Structure 1
Amino acid sequence: MNGGSIPRLARGMRLREDKARGQWVVLGPERMFVPDEIALEILRLLDGARSVDALADDLAARFAAPRAEILADVLAMLDDLAARGVVTA
């Protein structure tokens, strides 16, 4: 992925709030995982319309953090999730 990529959850993957457990989960065919707070903030922004650059801009403004660091972290996380089949661009 790069800054111009438009990430979204892969086919069959869903981000859902598990009210019984009081946490958010990512569900897919025969798997489930609980994202940490940072991953959850990023996953909530995946709408299939915004680029990685736009995600980094949003997060940098919201958390008053350096955009370059945010972009590097977002790209690393999305690359990892893409390798696991959770997101696609």
Structure 2
Amino acid sequence: MENDVTSIVLNDEDGNEVEFEVITKMDIEDKEYLVVVPKDRDEEDTDEAIVLRIDKDEDDNDILVTVEDDDEFEIVSEAYETLFSEDELN
């Protein structure tokens, strides 16, 4: 059975631990991505989603990297919107 992660804890730029809710995991062009939002966000604040790419370090361990490239972010955003708009139609 696969382990379903619903939340993760990451350190922000100041070293503070922040808990994030995992919205979805997607495979795009042989890369894996997570879309996460802060757990303590306001319900109306839906623009705080963060896209993280799952990479490997030198020891072949999974690491999370913030997607900062605009083109890569746009590809993931479009896939996310397509995925969730199809779910709402069904």
Flag the structure with larger Rg. 2
TM-score (normalised: structure 2): 0.34
Determine which structure has greater relative contact order: mean sequence separation of CA pairs < 8 Å that are 6+ residues apart, divided by chain length: 1
